[in-house]
Each structure stands twice: as structure tokens, then as C-alpha cells.
Amino acid sequence: MLLSIVFLPLLGFIFTSSFGFLIGRGATIVSTFSVFSACLLSIKLFITLLFTGSIFKVVLGKWFHFAGININWSFCFDQLTVIMLFVVTFISTLVHLYSTEYMAEDPHLPRFMSYLSLFTFFMLILVSSNNFLQMFVGWEGVGLSSFLLINFWFTRIQANKAAMKAMLVNRVGDFFILCALFGLLYLCGSLEYDVVFSTVPFMADLVFKELGCNFPVLDMICIALFLGAMGKSAQLGLHTWLPDAMEGPTPVSALIHAATMVTAGVFLLARCSFLFELSPTALLFIQYVGSCTAIFAASTGLFQNDMKKVIAYSTCSQLGYMVFAAGLSNYDVSVFHLSNHAFFKALLFLAAGSVIHAVADEQDMRKMGGLKNLLPFSYSVVVIGSLALVGFPFLAGFYSKDVILEAAFAKNTVSSHFCFYLGSLAAFFTAFYSTRLLFLVFLAEPNGSRVTTFNAHEPSWRMSLPLFLLAIFSITVGYFTKDIFIGFGSDFWDSSIFILSQNYSLRDIEFINIWYKLIPLMLTLLGTFVAYSIYAFALKEVYSIKQTPSFQKIYNFLSRKWYFDRVYNQNITQSVLKVSLYDFYMNLDRGLLEKYGPFGSVRKVREFTKYLNVYQSGDIKEYLFYILIAMLVFIFTILFIFKSPLIAPILVTIFHYWEENR
């Protein structure tokens, strides 16, 4: 049963990719059913672990054995893994079902479904692995599958660019992951989780001495691991691929941004809690990066006009919350927010896809409006998803997001207070752009084509059922699981997550001032009120302010994503391209190598053959003369080199022998 959870999506991929061209859309049933079966088995496993607390480990076989290093194909099904298995398979099942209708008109639907199944398989490999190397296989597989999905409509140049950008940015993070793995292998002599986590505490004080400085080895390994996680989880600096990934079909956006690819980095932080807890420097770095990511993405989403990009930046912002929660040693809260976020973010993306599908694939919110009465079901689920996103009381996001901010304040350090205030400000921005999205799409006056607007229609049951289920989970999952995941005295996580006693801050939440607990909620309500007031009553006044030079600078700064793309393109991409073009291609390849390589050698050979043609007269006497000269040169060369008295007699003997036998 355990291995079936992992390999059923692989079987769906193999069948769909192999026979999809024969049975057509019938292959989608197989891929959907395989993932659905894995979801049912995941639910059964979750219930088993919930009541028994058992941890299952399965060794499939030996991978390789070299220089005393043993690597097995092995799987670990502990509490952390089971949560990820359920979230991944559940979201993937709904995305598969949704795609059968959303992509119904696409002639390459079987290929699309096979990519979804392959993506799910590699994600399950990533979360269920029992060693770092096998985890890295899933890590790279997820990157490959995301490239195929983002570039599914490969005839679109923007899809090509987005897929290549996602691949290249993630390769930066993967490089640091490999560095960390080599460091762990050198330090511990193994990549098995159990060996590494039990060995590292005894080597926490090791330092690397270079250039007169001491570098703690564990700090460097943990920072490298986090830099790798930054690529997958789109943290500040390696975030640029995430909004551009919206070029793929909407189900891809829901799968990548909800429960799978972007959460892989957060999962890695939780899985390696045994390492990070021994590295205060790395934890501090994680706190600052996560909090800055939250405020960056939230502020950038304020002025985005593409509906999917607004939701994408909200994903990036929520990932910032998860990351700095892990940096505060609240790994359980981070995973709790991960699971809650998966449901309402998948809901928002799939609902956005439903709206876009209904208005003839229009994604610009400024060209929508007036859809509240035309799409009441879609409006309802978007409202539920948005309220859960902003952390409205008693919805999924409230129970995890508020706990993250409260735990940050309760930590009572400079860095934790920095996270608290930036996270609270990000909550204000989140409420603002969520309300703005609702108003522009559903509540404002219709601003698009009359034909498109009045032809808008609700989706079929294959698209509505996933939305309904996700809406139910977005309302209830936080309330029913909070005591299990983060309840005081709960031992659900057992040994899957490690937290030092001095770093545990959840118990201190009850002792902070009530006003500090209310700050995120008040800022959320304020953001909602300000956004609604502006777009409902004061849009003209705001537009006049928008034309002022000072506001234009702020607007350009935020709408152009803090100029990260511009800086990367001008200072990195263009510099690399110039060096490649002029230094390597023009000067080295077409210059030096061609001069002394193919072109130069051919020219020299041609010139040498023209010179030899002069001596190709056809006269035998002339040829014999050249041979005689060559033989004399050869003989005198040997006499000069060896200077031996035996050489001359030998040559004379050979000459006489030749004369006698001629």
C-alpha cells in the first residue's frame, strides 16, 4: 500500500503517455483515477498515523555502493511525509478532474494529463524519500516537470521564456543544494536522513579555516540548503520565475503554486530541522529573507492587473510567512500554514481559471467587472478563497497566519519583531489587493466587451466540484486540524520535526498583550476598508493623485517588481550575453580557434599542396634524385645523432648487400 501511493501516478503517466494517442481523451480517466487512488490511500495512511503514531520505512533495494557509502532506494512515511502526501495527492486529484473540462478543447489533452501525473510522481518521491540523494532526484524531477507544464503551449514565445526562466533560476538553487549534499557526505559519510541527523550534533563545532577566517561548517551547509530552498519556494532574489510561470495553463498554476513545487522548499526546511536548530546564524538569515519576501510580494501585488499574477504574488507572500516561521523554529506552524494555504490557494487559482474561461480567456482585471450576478458560484468561491487568504476569522488562513505572527512577537528578539511588523504590514497589503481583485472582477461596472460579458457562464460540474470541495476545506480545515498540528501538548509530529526547547515559542503566545494579537486583524480590516473605499467611491481622486510625479515613482517601483527583473537583465543577463558574443564567440570561437583550427589549417594545407604541385613533374629521374637526397640527409642525420663508430660499417654493409642483390 505504501509504495502504491508513490508509484500509482507514475503508472498513470506511463499509460497516458504511451496510449493517449490511441484512446484519446479516455486516457485522462486513467491518469485521474490513478492519482485519486493514491489520494484515498494517503487518507488511510494519515488516519493510521493519527491514531497509532507509527512510522513506516520501506527499503526498495540498493541503489549503489561505493567507497563505503551505501545509498538505498528507501522511503520514510512519518507524520511530515503523510501530511504532504495527502495535500499533494488531494490537490492533484482535483486539478486532474478540473483539467478534463478546462482543457477539453485542446488536442494535446492526453499529453497534458501525463505531465500532471509525472509532476505528482516526482513530488511524492521528494516528500517520501529517506535520504538526501533520492530527495534530490524528486527535486530535479519536479523542476523538469514544471518546465514541461509551463511550456505546454510551446508555440507561445512568452511560455518559452517563462519555462526557461523557471529552469535557470531553479538551477541556481540546485547548485547550492548539491554543495550542501557534498558537505554532508564529507562530514557524515552518508546521505541517509537517520545517519546525518544523528551524526551532525557531534560535529556542530567544526570550522573551516581559510584566509585567516573561521567558517562554521554546519552554518555553511545550512545556508546552502536554504539557498536551494529559496529557488523552489521563490524567496526574495530567486523569486522572478514565479509570476512568469502564469504563462502555463491555469491548472498548472494551481498545481505549482498551491501544494507542490513552491512548497518543496518549505518542506525541506521542516525536514532538515535537525540541522537548522543547531545553526542560529542560518535561522537568523531565514527570518530576514522570509519576512522581506512577504512584504515584497504583497507590495508588488498591489498594482498588478493580471488576475493570475495577483494570486501568484500572494503565493510568494504566503511563502514568505512559511519561511520566516521556520526561521523562528516554528516548523510545525509553517507546515500547518502550508497545508491550509494549499487549499485556499488552489481554490483561488482554479476559480480564476473558471472566470477567465467564462470571459473568453481574458485575464486583465480592468477589462472585466459586473460578473457578480452572471457568475454567482465563481464569485462565492473567490470570496471564500480571498477571505481565507487575508486571514479572516475562523477561516483556514486565520488559524495559521495569526499564529505565525503571534509566535514572531512572542519570540521577543530584534529579528522576530522585525518579522512581526513586516508580516503585519504584508497582511494590510494582502487585504488591499484581494479586495481590489474582488471589486474589479465582480463588483465594478462592466468594462469589457458586451458580447464577452453577457456570454459569461458558470463551469460544468467537472470544474465546479473541485471548487466546491476546496471551498469547504478552506472554511473548515484550519479549525479541525489546529489542535492536532499546533495544539498545546500535541505530540502529533513526534520525531519528524525537531525543535530545541529554548527555541520553542508557541507556549509564550498566551502571555503577550491582546493588542499585539489584534494588530494583524486590524490591519487586515483596514486594508479591506481602504481598498473598497478607493475603488467604490474615490477612484477619480486617486487617479488624479496617481498622475503626480512622486506617486508615479512609487507606482513604477511597485508595478515593476522593485526593478529586480531590470537589474538582472541589465547587470547579469546582458553582461553574460555580451561576454558570450564578443569574448567567446567572436574572439575565441570565430577568431582564435578558427584561425588556428578549421579555417587556418585548411588554408595552410591548401597553400602547402600548391607548393608541392611544383615538384610533381612526372620525371622519374627527378624523383630518384629527390629520393637520393632524402636518403643522404637521413644517413648523415643518424651519424650526427648517434656518433657511433658502428654506424658507418653497418651502412656500408647494407649498401654492398643492396648492390649485389640488385
For 544-585, write each residue's pLDDT tens digit.
777 777 778 888 888 887 888 788 777 777 777 777 766 666
Confidence of residue 461 (pLDDT cuts 50, 70, 90): confident
pLDDT digits (tens, 9 = 90+) for 227-279: 999 988 888 888 888 888 888 888 888 888 766 788 889 999 999 999 999 88
Alpha-carbon distance 449 to 360, whole Å?
10
How large is the average pLDDT for residues 343-363? 87
Q: Which amino acid is at 107?
A: P
Say yes or no to pLDDT of 287 above 80.
yes
Q: Which amino acid is at 640?
A: F
C-alpha cell at 25: 481523451
**Mean pLDDT of the residues in the chain:** 84
Q: How many CB atoms lie within 10 A of CB 488?
A: 9
pLDDT digits (tens, 9 = 90+) for 108-124: 888 888 999 999 999 99
Give the SS3 label for residue 641.
helix
Say yes or no to pLDDT of 366 above 90.
no
Contact 174, 143 (CB under 8 A): yes
Alpha-carbon distance 129 to 121, whole Å?
12
Alpha-carbon distance 168 to 601, whole Å?
38
Torsion of CA 524, 526, 527, 529, to 10 degrees: 120
Of the listed ranges 164-178, 321-335, 408-422, 440-454, the least confidently predicted one is 440-454
How large is the average pLDDT for residues 269-298? 92
- Between 281 and 361, the more confident residue is 281
Task: Specify the pLDDT at position 292.
Answer: 93
Where does 593-644 show beta strands of DSSP type E?
none
Alpha-carbon distance 343 to 257, whole Å?
11
Of the listed ranges 131-145, 229-243, 622-636, the least confidently predicted one is 622-636
- Most confident option among 137-146, 152-161, 250-259, 590-599: 137-146
Q: Give how far Cα 109 sits from Cα of 96, 102, 106, 115, Å.
A: 11, 10, 6, 10
How large is the average pLDDT for residues 302-322? 89
- Between 646 and 137, the more confident residue is 137
Alpha-carbon distance 303 to 299, whole Å?
8
- Between 106 and 588, the more confident residue is 106
Task: Specify the pLDDT at position 543.
Answer: 72
C-alpha cell at 597: 583550427
Confidence of residue 655 (pLDDT cuts 50, 70, 90): low
| Percent of the chain with pLDDT strictly greater than 90 | 26
Say yes or no to pLDDT of 453 above 80.
no
Say yes or no to pLDDT of 67 above 80.
no
How large is the average pLDDT for residues 159-170? 87
Say yes or no to pLDDT of 612 above 80.
no
Say yes or no to pLDDT of 659 above 80.
no
Say yes or no to pLDDT of 600 above 80.
no
| Percent of the chain with pLDDT strictly greater than 70 | 90
Give the SS3 label for residue 60.
strand
List the one residue out of 564, 239, 301, 597 whose CA is nearest residue 431.
301
How large is the average pLDDT for residues 201-221? 78
C-alpha cell at 564: 529586480
Torsion of CA 564, 303, 319, 381, to 10 degrees: -150
Task: Specify the pLDDT at position 650.
Answer: 62
pLDDT digits (tens, 9 = 90+) for 400-414: 888 999 989 988 889
List the one residue out of 455, 454, 321, 490 whose CA is nearest residue 398.
321
Say yes or no to pLDDT of 325 above 60.
yes
pLDDT digits (tens, 9 = 90+) for 370-402: 888 888 898 999 999 999 999 888 888 888 888
Say yes or no to pLDDT of 661 above 60.
no
Say yes or no to pLDDT of 593 above 70.
no
Say yes or no to pLDDT of 615 above 70.
no
Backbone φ/ψ region at 214: left (φ over 0), alpha (ψ -120 to 50), beta: beta
